[in-house]
Structure 1
Amino acid sequence: MFTDSGGATDAVQLTDVRKVYGKRGNTVVALDDVSTRFGRGTFTAIMGPSGSGKSTLLQAAAGLDQPTSGSVVLEDRELSTMDETELTELRRDRVGFIFQAFNLLPVLTVEQNVTLPLRLAGRSPAKGRVLTVLEQVGLADRRKHRPAELSGGQQQRVAIARALITEPAVIFADEPTGALDTRTARDVLGLLRSSVRSAGQTIVMVTHDPVAASYADRVLFLADGRVVGELHSPTADAVAERMTRLGAYADEASQPPSAAVGGQH
C-alpha cells in the first residue's frame, strides 16, 4: 500500500523496495518491502530509531544504493534498469544533496562551490542563475569569499545553493542541521521550507530532530525497515510523541522481552 497519492505529480516513487545486506545465514534486512511516494513540490521528513532504515531509504531513493528487489522511479526513470554511468548522470543532473558535513572545497569561492556541479557536467549556468540562487540563500554579498571565511550556517547555505543550482527534481538532505546551533538550524530549515513554497522544490530529509521535522509537510516514520506511520502538517510535540512510541515499538519488535531498551537515534 502506498502512503501518498501518486501519478505524474511524483518526484520519486518506491514500490516494494527491499534491501538486504550480508550473505546467507548472516543477513540484515535494512528495508522490508517499503512503498511510498514523494510528491513534487513537497517537503518530507524521514524519522525513526537507530537502525530503522532511514539512511538506506534515502540512498535507495537517490540512486546511491541499489535495492535487493523492488522498484525506484525518479521522475519517469526506473533506476534498476540504469547502469552506473547513467545513474551518475541522473544524480548529477536531477538530484541535489545536502549533508551534515558541508562538503565544500576550501580553495574555491562561494560562487565556484555553487557552480561546481554544472562545471563537472560541462555546463554553464544560465545568465543570472547563480546570483538568483545566492540571493535566495542570502549570500549574494559573500560570493567571492572562501568557506573558511564563513560561519557554519553560511557554509550550509552554500551547500543548499549548490544543491539548488541544477534545478533538481528532488533534493535529499541527510541531517542537514546536525552540525548547527539551534538558531542557525532554524534559519536553514526556514530556507528549505521557503524553497518548497516559492520554487516548488521537492525535499526529502532524514532527521532525528522533531523540531526539524516540524518544518516538513509530512513525516514518514520507519521502524525495523518498514514504514509504520506518517504525520501530515506535523508539530514538534506530535512528532516527539510519535517517536517515543516508535522507540518502544522498535525495541519490542526486535528484542527479546528481557533485553535492555536501546536508545533512539
Structure 2
Amino acid sequence: MFGNRRREPQGGGSARAAVRLDSVRKTYGKGENAVEALRGVDISFGYGSFTAVMGPSGSGKSTLLQCAAGLDVPTTGAVILDGVDLTGKNEVALTELRRERVGFIFQSFNLLPALTVEQNITLPLKLAGRRIDHGRVADVIRRVGLDQRRGHLPSELSGGQQQRVAIARALVAEPPVVFADEPTGALDTRTALEVLDLLRESVMVTGQTIIMVTHDPVAASHADNVVFLIDGQVISDIHNPTPEAVADRMTHLTALVEQPRRSFDLSSSANQRGPRGEY
C-alpha cells in the first residue's frame, strides 16, 4: 500500500493550488508563421486532485501540460508549481525541480531497455542523488502488481506491465504532482482500467496531484474534474464526470467558444468523487 502522506506546498505558495497557471500564453514561431498554442490560460489544480484535460487535436492540451510541468516556457504569464514560481528559472533549476517534485507518465512508457523493472523504477532517485528506500520501492512494485517481475527487462513484459513500471517510477519518489500524457492510449480496455485505478489510488491514499491529458471520455470519467480546451483556451469543465457527460461536452465544445473567458479554480474540489463511471 502506498504511504499515507498528505501534500503541502514546499515553496511558500498557496496551500490549495499544487499547480497554477496565470494568464499563460505560448506562441511558436514569429510573424505570419506564429501559432498561438495557449491564449491566456488561467487555471489552478488543487493538492490531492485528479484532473483530465481534453480537447480536439491542436487545442493546446499537450502545450498546457508541458508548460505546467516546466518542460516548456510560456511566452507570457506565470506557472507556479508546488509553490515555486517557474518564471525566469534556467534549465538546470527546472531540471532539479522536476526531479524533486514532478513525476511523468507517457503513452510510450520511456523505459530503458537494458535496465530491469526495479532499475527502471529507481533510476530517477539515482539521478537525483537521493537515498533509495528499498522498503518503499518493494512496496510500490508490489502495489502495481510486478512483484514477480522486478528482475525482468522491458522486452519481457506486456504493454500493460511496462506502463505499470512507468507508473511505479513516477510514484516511487512521492512527487507532489504527476503529469500523465495519454497513459492508457496504447492499452487494452481491461489494462487501461487497472492503470486508471492505480492513478486514482495514488490520489486518494497519498494525496498526489495528477493532471492527465486524454482523448478518452471513459478514462476522463475517473478524474475528479475534466477541463476542456479549444483553440488554446480552457472553455469549460465538469466536476465528478461521467463518460456520457464528457462525450456530450466534447460534441458541443465549439458552441462554448464565444462565452466570456473565465479562470478555472479546481483547487477546492479534490477527493470529492462519487461513484465513477464503469469501463
List runs of 5+ in structure 1 lacking aligned partners: 1-5, 251-265
Within 2, Cα distance between the matches of 1:191 and 1:10?
A: 23
- TM-score norm. by structure 1 comes to 0.90
Q: How does 1:175-214 map to 2 (within 5 A)?
A: 175-214=182-221
- Identity among equivalent positions (%) equals 67
* Paired position in structure 1 for 2:169: 162
* Paired position in structure 2 for 1:38: 45
* Paired position in structure 1 for 2:83: 76
Q: How does 1:112-151 map to 2 (within 5 A)?
A: 112-151=119-158
- Match of 2:125, as an amino acid? L
CA deviation after TM superposition for structure 1 residue 247, in Å: 5.2
CA deviation after TM superposition for structure 1 residue 144, in Å: 1.0
CA deviation after TM superposition for structure 1 residue 224, in Å: 0.5
CA deviation after TM superposition for structure 1 residue 141, in Å: 2.0
> Which deviates further from its counterpart, 241-250 or 144-153?
241-250
Aligned-pair RMSD on alpha carbons?
1.3
> Out of 147, 157, 160, which is 1:153 matched to?
160
Q: How many residues align?
A: 245
Where 1:19 maps in the other structure, the secondary structure is strand
Contact 1:223-1:249 within 8 A present in 2 as well: no
Relative distance call for 1:127 and 1:106 in structure 2 (3 A) is closer
- The ranges of structure 1 where at least 4 consecutive aligned residues each deviate by more than 2 angstroms after the TM superposition are 247-250
* Paired position in structure 2 for 1:216: 223
Within 1, Cα distance between the matches of 2:32 and 2:247?
A: 36
- Match of 1:29, as an amino acid? E
Where 2:65 maps in the other structure, the secondary structure is helix
What do the CA deviations read for 1:101-138 (whole angstroms, capped 9, x no partner)? 01111111100000000111122212411001112211
Contact 1:79-1:87 within 8 A present in 2 as well: yes
What do the CA deviations read for 1:166-197 (whole angstroms, capped 9, x no partner)? 11110000000111111111111111111111
Contact 2:229-2:235 within 8 A present in 1 as well: yes
Q: Which has the higher helix share?
A: 1
* Paired position in structure 2 for 1:259: none
Within 2, Cα distance between the matches of 1:92 and 1:199?
A: 18
